[in-house]
Amino acid sequence: MASPRVSRRALVQGAAISAGLVGLGAAGGVGTSTALARRDAQQGWGSDATVPFYGPHQAGIVAVAPAFARYLTFDLLPGTTAEGIRRMLRIITEDSAALAAGNSPLADSEPELAHIPANLTVTLGFGRELVVRAAGPGAVPSWLGPLPAFTVDRLEPRYTGGDLLVIVQSDDPLSVSHAARVITRQTQSFVAPRWSLDGFRRSPGAAPSGTTMRNLFGQVDGTQGPHPGDEAFARSVFGEGVNTGNPAWLAGGTGFVLRRIAMDLDTWDEVDRHDRERAVGRRLDNGAPLTGEHEHDAADFSARDNRGLPVIPDFAHMRRARATSAQEVFARRGYNYEVEQGVGDRPEAGLLFEAIGYDPSKQFVPTQRRLDQMDMMNLWITPVGSAVYAIPPGCEPGGYIGQTLV
């Protein structure tokens, strides 16, 4: 069943499209006449579907996750100083704000590609090296650095680390590509690309908005909150009401663990449906816990079947991943990926997994330790990339992302 929130959004979008509303009267920037000509019946969907860029938190952290994402990581060039970082952040901020509003940024060689933001957001994360160069070692949060080693990890150096993370998200993949290109082009004097990867969910409109995504194993993935808007989100993500121990510049920001988790679709094929469900502890048809009927039913971890065995097995992912204390609660989000490896190689399929919380060492790490010790899903999944970033707070017009740091 769709929630009321979902239904309303779907209805609003449907109504706007069927009404064929005329273009927006207010637009801005160079090339406005071109933009206006193209703002036709797509109201409510692409051209005027905008997420406000400015605010106390970065928009991509608090917005509903759109269908497509590109993760870009960069390394600082040797000569990039704090002053250069400041200039780079101003550029990224101005360009991102323009792109989010559907306007072409300065010096955009393909300005027409900017006019359909489709809920575009750009989110910045800082690796340890960037924070050190920007403000010295004293500004580094205690948890900002490589995670402890886990036995399941098979990390590829090229997919691990990075000084700057840029996540571009939108409901339109062409807009994602263009925004990523703009930012890559405009930061070339400061950083060099390290790796980038596209993530995807269902296309907008293919499923009711707000539907929990499915991963490439067919599982409903991401039921466990908190989600943006939930009461627990502000506490566990931004540390509101918590003595986080984080440096002052990170107020309104958060910690961010990015894991590139490869999924072996071939060996998963060998598993029957019953065991697939027991591996996670959830039904495949609707994501409900094996002890419940609906996706968001609370799981009964003490329930036993008629043979006296736990209905949700001891090795089930959801049992092992659940928080053992309020402090361990963090937000999680994922995007599917699938990439060619080269001629003759099988594609690498997997999940780009985000663990978002004010202190990954107290939230993600203890959780991942339990999964590392025992989780049936470890038979089929392998973390191949890993990085930790500090997500700075948002900013207001005239400011820039990272201004509290540098």
Q: Give the span between the Cα atoms of 139 and 41, in whole angstroms.
A: 49
By CB under 8 A, tell whether 148 contacts other proteins: no
Residue from the set 9, 38, 90, 181 that interacts with other proteins by CB under 8 A: 90
Examine residue 28 and tell whether it contacts other proteins (CB under 8 A): yes
The smaller minimum CB distance to other proteins, of residues 30 and 374, is found at: 30
Question: Measured between alpha carbons, how far is 113 from 176 in angstroms, rounded to an integer?
Answer: 10
Q: How far is the CB of 185 from other proteins (least distance, A)?
A: 6
Ordered DSSP codes for 152-216: T----GGGS--SEEEEEEES-HHHHHHHHHHHHHHTTTTEEEEEEEEEE-SPBTTB-TTPPPB-T
106 binds other proteins (CB under 8 A): yes
Given CA atoms 75, 246, 359, 65 in this order, what sign does their dihedral have? Answer: negative
Looking only at residues 263 through 292 of this chain, which bind other proteins when binding is defined by CB under 8 A? none
By the rule CB under 8 A, 98 interacts with other proteins: yes
Tokens of 187: 């930061």
Sign of CA dihedral 16, 21, 27, 33: positive
At closest approach, how far in Å is the CB of 311 from other proteins?
Answer: 54
Distance (Å, rounded) from C-alpha 404 to C-alpha 394?
A: 10
What is the footprint of other proteins within residues 351-370 (CB under 8 A)? none
Cβ at position 73, least distance to other proteins in Å: 19
What minimum distance in Å lies between the beta carbon of 28 and other proteins?
3
Token pair 């064929």 is at which residue? 20
Which residue matches tokens 């990867």? 197
Identify which of residues 48 and 354 has a Cβ nearer to other proteins in the complex: 48
**Are the C-beta atoms of 387 and 353 separated by less than 8 Å?**
no
Pairwise CA distance, residues 233 & 216, whole Å? 26
Token couple for 17: 């499209």
Q: Which helix (H) or strand (E) holds 319?
A: helix 317-321
Between 63 and 101, CB nearer to other proteins: 101
The residue among 53 and 353 lying less far from other proteins, judged by its C-beta, is 53
Question: Which is nearer to other proteins, 75 or 338 (by Cβ)?
Answer: 75
What is the rounded CA–CA span in Å between residue 353 and residue 381? 12
Distance CA 47, CA 40 (A): 8
CA torsion, points 20, 22, 27, 32, in degrees to nearest 10? 100
Q: Check binding of 27 to other proteins (CB under 8 A).
A: yes
- Is 93 a residue that touches other proteins (CB under 8 A)? yes
Size of the site for other proteins (CB under 8 A): 29
For position 397 contacting other proteins by CB under 8 A, the verdict is yes
Between 29 and 205, CB nearer to other proteins: 29
Give, for 76, the enclosing helix (H) or strand (E).
Answer: strand 68-76
Q: Evaluate whether 253 touches 239 at the Cβ level (below 8 Å).
A: no
Q: Is 107 in the site for other proteins (CB under 8 A)?
A: yes
Contact track, other proteins, 166-195, x by CB under 8 A: -------------------xx-xxx-----
Q: Among 9, 23, 29, 44, which residue sits at the site for other proteins (rule: CB under 8 A)?
A: 29
State the helix-helix crossing angle for 82-100 and 128-135, rounded to 10 degrees: 120
For residue 221, indicate whether it is catalytic.
yes
- Would you count residue 109 as binding other proteins (CB under 8 A)? yes
Q: Which of 198, 221, 359, 372 is catalytic?
A: 221
| Residue 91 in contact with other proteins, rule: CB under 8 A | yes
Residues that bind other proteins (CB under 8 A): 26-30, 32, 84, 86-88, 90-91, 93-94, 97-98, 101, 103, 106-107, 109, 185-186, 188-190, 397-398, 400
Residues annotated catalytic, as ranges: 221
